[in-house]
Amino acid sequence: MNITKEQIDELNAVVKVAVTKEDYQDKVETILKDYRKQANIPGFRKGQVPMGLIKKQYGKAVLVDEVNKLLQDNLNKYLTEEKLDVLGNPLPKQQDNFNWDAEDFAFEFELGLAPSFSIDLKSKDAITHYKIVADAKMIDEQVERLQKQYGKLISKEVVGKTDEITGTFVNEAEEIDHKTTLELDKIKDENALKSLIGKKAGEVVTLNTKDLFTEDYLLGSSLGISATKADNLEIEVSFTIEEINERELAPLDQEFFDKLFGKDVITSEEGLKERIKTDSEKQFEQQSDQKLLNDVTEHFIETTKFDLPEEFLTKWIKTTGEKQLTDDEANEEFKKSEKGLRYQLIEGKIIQENGIQIQFEELKDFAKGFIKEQMAQFGQLDPKDEELDGIAARVLSNQDEVKRLSEQLMSQKLLNLYKEKANLTSKEVTYEDFVKEVYG
């Protein structure tokens, strides 16, 4: 077998494969002999069918199958040995006069080649790395939420401005009939608030769902409908008041601190606020890091210029999916995937040039850390290492989980690299300002 490459341009090449009878004959003959031993054809004893009949019946199918296997194996080997960085897969060129009855065959495959480009991690323009801090206002609000959560409910006769009301929302046309508890300090609509204050159990109030709550997500949960259905919902609903309660805040005493964090872990209001600040900023760091990763990704895509073998990739997209696409559909799919493909190439180059690798022990430790965080959410704060090892082993036996965790660990390694080498400027903001600045 002879394989040669014809370079069309920097991004495109054609590989030519010449297959001779000597390349496939022995294998084809062996398979046909096995077929003869097993063949059951009327008029002949098993194993005694003439080879000519076997060849006539099965010969071409076996030939085609074996030649295709040879092509696949040798083409992949050639691409590896020649260190050709290809995009997609080789595409066979159409040959109108191809003849499977010949003894020697010639095949041609189109290749799309990865472009050459360079990446400068230390860009001229600095990328903002947000440091989100928990300010006094946020900490005080969190303390009050905790006091409410652990406080006492005191029954009331009449609705007050800061009370909690249990009742049922109804709208027959939208099939809404849902019992819920409303915190009046979460009501945004002033007219709705006025209509509720002063009411007693048993009374019915009509409310409009548009801008009813301070947070959009509250509408769906309060009405018992999906977030999708609740989005931009503007209807009138009746609300029947069933129970009115005032929540008395839990005192900031040692019993309260122990309920939150365990005995004597926190012993003062100042200690509580410091713990809340520390825990909140740790959570904010994850959001800040994700924002940085997104911004660095966008920066590299915008500033790293290179061409792609667009015609080849469009043809590859057109022919290699579950169903063959039209030219217009393939062009549209290429446009959708181009940005992702560009970043895959950029990320791959960054990983290669900086020698970033994932070792199994690293992945195992990463999985154990993830499992430990999950267990902590369910109150298991100090699991034994043997238990973590066992769970990690089960998780890592699942290839989908291995892929997911590997991607997360690689993202963390890239993030650490960017923090070390990229041109970053730190900006300290409150969470409220971060949300306004980043999400508008």
CATH says 152-248 is which class?
Answer: alpha beta
317 is written with which tokens? 């997209």
Domain residue extents for the chain: 2-113, 152-248, 259-306+356-439
pLDDT tens by residue, 173-193: 999 999 999 999 999 999 999
Burial (0-12, 13-18, 19+ Cβ within 10 Å), 31: middle
Does pLDDT of 47 surpass 90? no
Is residue 11 a contact partner of residue 306, using CB atoms and an 8 Å limit? no
Class of the CATH-defined domain 2-113: alpha beta
- Span 70-109, pLDDT tens digits: 999 999 999 999 999 999 999 999 888 889 989 999 999 9
Tens of pLDDT, residue by residue over 152-178, are 999 999 999 989 999 999 999 999 999
CB 133 within 8 A of CB 140: no
For every residue of 182-227, DSSP letters joined together read EEGGGB--HHHHHHHTT-BTT-EEEEE-TT-BSSTHHHHHHHT--H
Q: How far apart are CA 303 and CA 295, in angstroms?
A: 12
**Rounded CA gap, 146 and 141, in Å?**
9
Task: Report the greatest alpha carbon distance in the chain.
Answer: 101
Integer angstrom CA distances of residue 154 from 146, 201, 249: 17, 14, 11
User: Once rounded to an integer, what is the mean pLDDT over residues 3-15?
Assistant: 95
Non-local CB neighbours of 14 within 8 Å, separated by 6+ positions: 5, 6, 8, 93, 108, 109, 110, 111
Average pLDDT, the chain: 92
Cβ atoms within 10 Å, residue 286: 10
Give the residue from 83, 91, 141, 135 showing the smallest Cα distance to 112.
91
pLDDT cut 90: percent of the chain above it = 76
Q: How far apart are CA 342 and CA 305, in angstroms?
A: 9
Residue 45 has pLDDT above 80, yes or no: no
How large is the average pLDDT for residues 377-393? 83
> Three-state SS for 426?
strand
Structural Rg of the chain based on CA atoms: 34
Phi first, then psi: what are they for 427, rounded to 5°?
Answer: -135, 120
Q: What share of the chain is helix, strand, coil (3-state, %, to 5)?
A: 50, 20, 30
Question: Does residue 264 register a pLDDT over 80?
Answer: yes
CB proximity list for 12: less than 8 A, separation 6 or greater: 110, 111, 112, 113, 309, 311, 312
Q: What pLDDT, on the 0 to 100 scale, is given for residue 257?
A: 94
Distance of CA 275 to the CA centre of its chain: 31
Q: Dihedrals φ, ψ of 368, to 5°?
A: -65, -40
Task: Please check whether residue 120 is in contact with residue 304, taking contact to mean a CB–CB distance below 8 angstroms.
Answer: no
Pair 112, 86: CB distance under 8 Å: yes
Instruction: State pLDDT tens for residues 218-254.
Output: 999 999 999 899 988 999 999 999 999 999 999 999 9
Q: Round to whole Å and give the CA distance between 377 and 342.
A: 38
Mean pLDDT of 333-360: 94
Question: Which pair of structure tokens corresponds to residue 170?
Answer: 């109804």
Helical (H) or strand (E) element with 374: helix 360-377
Alpha helix (H) ranges present in 304-326?
310-320
Residue among 357, 360, 414, 422 at smallest CA distance from 392? 360
* pTM value > 0.85: no
